[in-house]
Structure 1
Amino acid sequence: MTTPSPRKVALVTGAARGIGLAVAKRFLAEGYNVALLDIENDLLRASVAALNDPANTLALHADVADAAAVAAAFAAAQARFGRLDALVNNAGIAVFKPLLDTTQAEWQRVMDVNLTGPFLCTQAAAPLMREHGGGAIVNITSISALRASTLRTAYGTSKAGLAHLTKQFAVELATLGIRVNAVAPGPVETAMAKAVHTPAIRADYHDTIPLNRYGGEDELADAVFFLCSPRASYITGQMLAVDGGFEATGIGLPTLRRDGSNG
């Protein structure tokens, strides 16, 4: 029988880079053991090695849309650390294409990763959290869950579904002492944003974000950790937009409307 870790334990999906890796680092800094799960095995191993904390980290190679792989990953985390206190469903993919160019296979894969993945991971996490009196789950949705935009038919719909799934989880898991909330990032300085946001799109975002800048990965990690911490003990079923006020403006991006560029 596994002896539970004296430290709290967090599992973060999509943790090999970007927001997920920033979240993992924040949990480590707060004294947690952290299991980092990602589909990109080589990048995952390199990221975990770079953390240079082998006693308190665990790399889990898995596709969150694969039920058997998810079950095996959570069993490995349980075997290593003996408990689970926080789950961050961050793994996600995006297809930025016009509706008429989006294939059924692309649509399905986005739904499988962005919606079915958190469903499977939460099903696997809840029994482990229940063993130690509860825990906290944070789903990473998107501003695209709150407002429609060009080229996001699959992505935006999957994130809107995840926003509602957050509420379903919160209602059903409350009796187990498990809180479930969501963080909706606005434009964030990630590798993906740097790759696909043209100068014109970046200028549009700056014009429509009241705080007039992109967010930082560490700022997202701060919000996620807060929702998992005792300071959020009476918060469940909520979605926190971490977006510099972008969603509140209600204004679309003129560059995207004008020429259909990637966003």
Structure 2
Amino acid sequence: MNSRRVAVVTGASQGIGAELVTAYRKLGYAVVANSRSIAASADAEILTVAGDLADPAVGPRIVDRALAEFGRVDTVVNNAGLFVAKPFTEYTAADYAAVIGVNLTGFFTLTQRAVAVMAEQGGGHVVNITTSLTDHALAAVPSALAALTKGGLNAVTKSLAIEYAGRGVRVNAVSPGVIRTPMHPEPTHAALAALHPVGRMGEVSDVVDAVVYLENSAFVTGEILHVDGGQSAGH
């Protein structure tokens, strides 16, 4: 079997996901990069697989493409996520289906297939990207669907870490605060920075560094690593 390690990164076309692809390549991994629409890479060690994770067929297809191209799957970073901030009573059925589709169905179908492969290989690593809003709710940021879905990912991180600890599969999460990405317009930055006790927004590199730390930490599993400027600890 091919000994080169292989990472799967979802939500990989921009922001945190794109930087995670770069980080795993620097670690020497081949990378399978997924998003709903993603261009082919000039790097032969990066396989791009377009597809909407809300479709239950897409997750297993990503893993199967990884196996066909690179022969193994060592890490999955469940970075793709959908965030819709609305008052609870204003969410529509379409909002619910969209958020559940990416945040939970996508996680489940991809990770279930990948963990089966990892257990057969004798090891692997899953990292889930969640949010500190699950620990520290904010009246100014109504986010019940994020709490419902990302809170579920925090819980399943611990559950799977224990279920697979004896088979060499580690499962961890990174729980960010508000990260400076194009989804947050410049005029909102001061208010968003104030949500964090350290007084600034997080950078994409802060989240990437946390994932790389977990990747390199063989004795860490079941961990929910908060990268949120103290937001979850208090105010």
2:232 to 240, 244, 247: 247
Q: Does 1:79 align with 2:68?
A: yes
Residue correspondence of structure 1 range 72-221 to structure 2 within 5 A: 72-149=61-138, 150-194=141-185, 198-199=187-188, 202-221=189-208
Alpha-carbon distance, 1:87 to partner: 0.5
Residue correspondence of structure 1 range 27-66 to structure 2 within 5 A: 27-39=24-36, 41=37, 44-45=38-39, 48-49=40-41, 52-53=42-43, 55-66=44-55
Provide Cα deviations, 1:68-120, integer angstroms capped at 9, x if missing partner. 22222211110000011111001111111111211122112212211222121
The answer to whether the 8 A contact 1:209-1:249 is kept is no
Q: Distance in 2 between matches of 1:161 and 1:86?
A: 20
Which has the higher Rg, Structure 1 or Structure 2? Answer: 1
Q: Equivalent residue of 1:191, what SS?
A: coil
Q: Identify the residue that residue 13 of structure 2 maps to in structure 1.
A: 16
Give the % identical residues. 39
Q: Identify the residue that residue 214 of structure 2 maps to in structure 1.
A: 227
Alpha-carbon distance, 1:13 to partner: 0.7
Q: Identify the residue that residue 237 of structure 1 maps to in structure 2.
A: 222
Q: Partner amino acid for 1:246?
A: Q
The normalised TM-score by structure 1 is 0.83
Q: Distance in 2 between matches of 1:139 and 1:75?
A: 20
The answer to whether the 8 A contact 1:65-1:120 is kept is no
Q: Which runs of 4+ in 1 moved over 4 A?
A: none
The answer to whether the 8 A contact 1:167-1:238 is kept is yes
The answer to whether the 8 A contact 1:137-1:228 is kept is no
Alpha-carbon distance, 1:14 to partner: 0.8
Q: Partner amino acid for 1:80?
A: E
Alpha-carbon distance, 1:207 to partner: 3.0
Q: Partner amino acid for 2:104?
A: L
User: What number of residue pairs does the alignment pair up?
Assistant: 233
Q: Partner amino acid for 2:109?
A: L
Gaps of 5+ in 1: 251-263
Q: Identify the residue that residue 4 of structure 2 maps to in structure 1.
A: 7
Alpha-carbon distance change, 206 to 72 in structure 1, aligned in 2, over 3 angstroms? closer
Q: Identify the residue that residue 256 of structure 1 maps to in structure 2.
A: none
Provide Cα deviations, 1:110-151, integer angstroms capped at 9, x if missing partner. 122112221211101012212332011100000112122332
Higher normalized helix content (fraction of residues): 1
Please say which of residues 21-30 and 101-110 is displaced more in the overlay: 101-110
Q: Distance in 1 between matches of 2:52 and 2:194?
A: 37
Q: Partner amino acid for 1:164?
A: A
